[in-house]
Amino acid sequence: MAGEIVLPTATSGIAVANIPSGRTVHSRFKIPLNSETSFACDVPKQGSLAALIKQTALIIWDEASMAKKENIKSVELLLLFGGDFRQVLSVVPRKTQREAIATSLLQCTGNDFVQVPAHIVSYYQEGDDPINYLATTTFPELEHATLSQDIFIERAILTPLNDVVDSINTFLINKFLGNSVAYKSFDSMLDDNCAIYPTEFLNQLAPGGMTPHELVLKINSHVILLRNIDPANSLCNRTRLICKSFRRNVIVCSIATGHRQGELMFVHRVNLRPPSSAKYPIQFEQIQFLLKLSFAMTINKSQGQTLSRVIVYLPQPCFSHGQLYVTLSRAKQSTKVTVITPQPADHHTSEVLKNVVAYDVLQLSGII
pLDDT of residue 108: 45
pLDDT of residue 169: 92
pLDDT of residue 286: 87
The candidate with the shortest Cα–Cα distance to 223, out of 287, 270, 259, 172, is 172
pLDDT digits (tens, 9 = 90+) for 329-347: 888 887 888 888 887 766 5
The runs of H, that is alpha helices, within the chain are: 13-17, 25-29, 48-55, 69-76, 97-102, 130-138, 149-154, 162-175, 199-204, 299-302, 323-328, 359-364
pLDDT digits (tens, 9 = 90+) for 43-83: 887 888 888 888 888 888 877 777 777 787 777 776 655 45
pLDDT digits (tens, 9 = 90+) for 203-236: 887 776 778 889 999 999 999 988 888 877 778 8
Lowest mean pLDDT among 4-8, 114-118, 236-240: 114-118
The pTM of the whole model exceeds 0.75: no
Distance CA 12, CA 66 (A): 8
pLDDT of residue 109: 46
DSSP β-bridge partners for residue 188: 285
